[in-house]
Chains A and B, each alone.
Chain A
Amino acid sequence: MNNELTLITPELIIASAICLLILVNSFLTTEKRYTGLIIGSITMATCALISLIFLIETTNSSIFNNHYKIDHFSTGLKFTTYLIALFIFIGTKTNKENTKSELVLLEIFAILGVSILASSNNLLTLYLGLETLTLSMYGLVASKRSSEIATESAMKFFILGAIASAIFLYGVSFVYGLHGTLFFEELNNATINNTIEMQLALAFIICGIAFKLGAVPFHSWVPDTYQGASTSSALFISTIPKLGAFALIYRLLYEAFIANAEFWSLLILLLGLLSLILGNVIAIAQDNLRRILGYSAVGHIGFILIGLSIGSIDGAIAALAYLVIYILMTAAAFMSIEVISTEKRAVVTLADIKDLNSTHPWISLIMLFSMFSMVGIPPFIGFYAKWIILSELINSDMLSIALIGIIVSVIAAFYYLRIVWYMYFEKNELPIMKGSPNIFQKTSISLVGLSILLLGIYPSPIINFCRSIFSPFLLID
C-alpha cells in the first residue's frame, strides 16, 4: 500500500498544489500576483525531478488493482509534460495581466488530467483523465470572461467537446459490452477484436480521439480557440493537451486494440491525410496570425497521425518525437506573440507584426526560427521532425503518402514565410507593439528558441529520449 502511494508522488504533489491554490485563491484576494506562478512552478519543477528519478530507476508496475500503470511510457510522458509546463509558466505567467492564480489552477488541473491519461490501464481511468483534461480546458478558453470572442469560442469548444466525449463513450460502452471487461490487457487478448461490431465501436472511439487532437472533420475548435482565448491559454492549449491526446492514442490503439491494427491504421491514415492537406491549404487564406497557427497545428497533427498510422513502435517513436518538436516550435511562436502584446493591445492579425524586427529584433529572430522550423528548413529541428516521419513511411512502403507529405510541406512554406516577410520587410503604419518582456520571459523564450536551432544541429537527445520511453517494447519485439 505504502509503495503504491510512493509511485504516484507526482500526482499527489499536483493534487495538493491544487488544494493549496484553491485555498490561496479564496483567502488572498488582493495581493496574489505571483502566488499562482510560484506554487505552479515549484510544483512542476518538483514533479519533473521526481519523474526523472522514476524514469532512471525504471519502475514498472501496475497499482490500485491494475487500474493505474507506472511504466516507461507514462513516466517519460509525464516528465515531458512537467518540463514543458514549467517553461510555459515561467514564460507567460510573469506577465502583468496573466498573473491571475485561477489560470494556473486550471492549467495544473489539466496537467493532472494528462498524468492520469498517461498512466491509465483501464477504460474508466482513461475516461476520468480525459475529462479532467477537457473540463479544465473549457475553463481556460473561457477565462477571458468579458471578451465576446473568448466566450463564443469557449461555447463552440464546449458543445463540440461534449458531443465528442459522448460519441467516444458510446464506443467505449460497446467495447465493454463485447469484451465484458475494461482492462486494456484483457481487451487485447480477446478474439472478438475483428468483428464488425468491434470495428463500429472503434470508429466511434477514433472520432473522440480525433476531436481531442483536432484532426480534420473535428478540427473547427482549434483555430477558434486559438483566436478567442488569451495568448497564454492558447499557448497552453496548443501544447500540453496534445501530449494527453498522444497518451490516449497510444494507450488505446497501441495497447488495447493492437489486434485491430489493420482497421484503425486505415482510419488514422485517412484522418491524418485530411488534416495534413486541409489544415495547410486553409491556413494560406488566413489573415489572422492566431488562426494561421491554429490551422498549422491541424496540419502538424496530420503529420503525427500519419506517423502513428504506420502501426509499429517505430512509427509511434517518430510521432512522439514530431509531437515534442512541434510543441517546442509552437511554444516559441506563442511566447513571441505573448511577450510583444500589451494589456491594451494583443497581437491578432498579420498587420500587428509588421516591421517587428525594428522594435523587437531578438523576439522576431526567435519567431523566424520557429517559422523556418515549421516549414522544415534544414538547420532547424523541424526538418529533422519531418525527416524521421518521412523515413519511417518510406521504410514501411508508403511512398505515395510520403510524397503527399512533402508536397503539402512545400505548399505550407508559403504562409510560414509570409509571416517572416511581414516581420522583416513590410512597412508599419500602425502604432508599434510596445510589450516589453521581463527577465524570466526573456530567459524562457530564448531557451526554447535556441533549442529549436541547437537540437536541429544535434538532434539525437530528442530521438534517444523518445526511444528510451518505448524501450521495454523494443526489447519484446
Chain B
Amino acid sequence: MLTLQSYLSLAAIIFSIGIIGIVINRKNIIIVMMCTELLLISVNFNFIAFSYFNQDIAGQIFVFFILTVAAAEAAIGLAILVALYRNKKSIDVHELRTLRN
C-alpha cells in the first residue's frame, strides 16, 4: 500500500530533476522546455495524490486545467522558438546573449 508520502517524494524528485535540468543544461532550449513540462507534471502528481488522500475532487479538476494550460504554454514556447531560430539560425542556450547590461 503506497502512502501519501511516497507520492509526494516522487513528485519532489521529478520537480528536482526539472530544476536541475534547467540549471545544468548548457546546450539546447528544447531541453529547457522539456524540463518545464517535468515541473508541471510533478505538480500534477501532487494534486492527484492530495486529491485522492483528502477525498476531494477539486484537485483532479485542477489537474485538467494545468494540462490544458501546459499545452498552450508549450505551443507558445515552440512558436517563439521557431521565430528565434529564424533570426539566429541556432537554438543554443549560449547564443542568447545579445541582451546584456
Q: Contact residues of A with B, CB < 8 Å?
A: 123-124, 127-128, 131, 135, 138-139, 142, 145-149, 151-156, 158-159, 162-163, 165-167, 169-170, 172-174, 176-177, 180-182, 223-224, 227-228, 282, 285-286, 291
Contact = CB atoms under 8 A, between A and B. Distances in A.
B84 interface: yes
B87 A147 contact: yes
Interface string B26-55: 000100110010011011001101100010
A149 B96 CA distance: 9
Contacts of A176: 47, 50, 58-59, 62
Contacts of B61: 124
Contact of B98 (A146, A149, A180, A286): A149
Contacts of B62: 123-124, 127, 176, 182
B99 A162 contact: no
7 tightest A-B CB contacts, nearest first? A166-B39, A177-B50, A173-B46, A162-B36, A151-B84, A180-B54, A169-B43
A170 B46 contact: yes
Interface residues of B, number: 41
Nearest to B44: A173
A163 B43 CA distance: 12
Nearest to A227: B99
A128 B65 contact: yes
Contact of B87 (A148, A165, A167, A223): A148
Given A166-B43, A176-B59, A228 B99 contact: yes
Interface in B57-101: 58-59, 61-62, 65-66, 69, 72-73, 76-77, 79-81, 83-84, 86-88, 96, 98-99, 101
A181 to B, nearest CB: 7
Contacts of A169: 40, 43, 66
B70 to A, nearest CB: 9
Contacts of A138: 76-77, 80
B40 A152 contact: no
Contact of A131 (B47, B59, B69): B69
